[in-house]
Amino acid sequence: VVVNHVEMDHTGALPEVMEVAKPEKLFCSPKGKENLLKHFHRDDWPYEVVKTGDRLSLGGRTVTFIETRMLHWPDSMFSYLMEDRLLISQDAFGQHWATSGRFDDEVDRGELMQQAAKYYANILLPYSNLVQKLLGDLGEMGLEPEIIAPDHGLSWRKDPGMILEAYGRWSQQRAKPKVVVVYDTMWHSTERMAQAIAEGLAREGVEYLVMDLKVSHRSDVVTELLEAKALLVGSPTFNNGMLPTVADFLHYLKGLRPRGKIGAAFGSYGWSGESVKLINAELEAMKVDLVDEGISVKFAPSGDDLKRCRELGQRVGRTVKETL
Q: Are strands 26-28 and 207-212 parallel, antiparallel or unpaired?
A: unpaired
Span 195-211, pLDDT tens digits: 999 999 999 999 999 99
Under 8 Å between Cβ of 258 and 289: no
Instruction: Express each pLDDT in 74-99 by its tens digit.
Output: 999 999 999 999 999 999 999 999 89
pLDDT band for 324, please (50, 70, 90 cuts): confident
Q: Quick: pLDDT tens for 210-244.
A: 999 999 999 999 999 999 999 999 999 999 999 99
pLDDT at site 3: 97
* Average pLDDT taken over every residue of the chain: 96
Residue 129 has pLDDT above 90, yes or no: yes
* Cβ neighbours, 10 Å, residue 28: 26
pLDDT tens string 260-299:
999 999 999 999 999 999 999 999 999 999 999 999 999 9
Backbone angles phi, psi at 153, to 5 degrees: 80, -155
| CA 114 – CA 236 distance, rounded (Å) | 31
DSSP 82-113: TTTTEEE-TTTT------S--BGGGS-HHHHH
Q: Is the pLDDT at 188 greater than 90, yes or no? A: yes
Number of H helices and number of E strands within the chain?
Answer: 11, 15
Burial class (CB in 10 A: 0-12, 13-18, 19+), 233: buried
Helix 30-40 × helix 14-21 angle, to 10°: 100
% the chain with pLDDT above 70: 100
36: Cβ contacts below 8 Å, ≥ 6 apart: 3, 6, 11, 14, 26, 28, 42, 45, 47, 75
The arithmetic mean of pLDDT across residues 126-146, rounded, is 93
- Rounded mean pLDDT, 53-59: 94
Local confidence band at 15 (pLDDT 50, 70, 90 cut-offs): very high
Measured between alpha carbons, how far is 160 from 41 in angstroms, rounded to an integer?
38
Gap between the Cα atoms of 296 and 282, Å rounded: 16
| Residues pairing with 47 in the sheet | 26
- Residue 118: C-alpha distances to residues 39, 221, 224, 225 (Å): 28, 9, 8, 10
Query: What confidence score (pLDDT) does residue 153 get?
Result: 94
| Mean pLDDT of the 289-313 span | 97
Judge whether residue 103 has pLDDT over 90.
yes
What domains appear along the chain, each with residue ranges and CATH number? 8-171 (3.60.15.10), 179-319 (3.40.50.360)
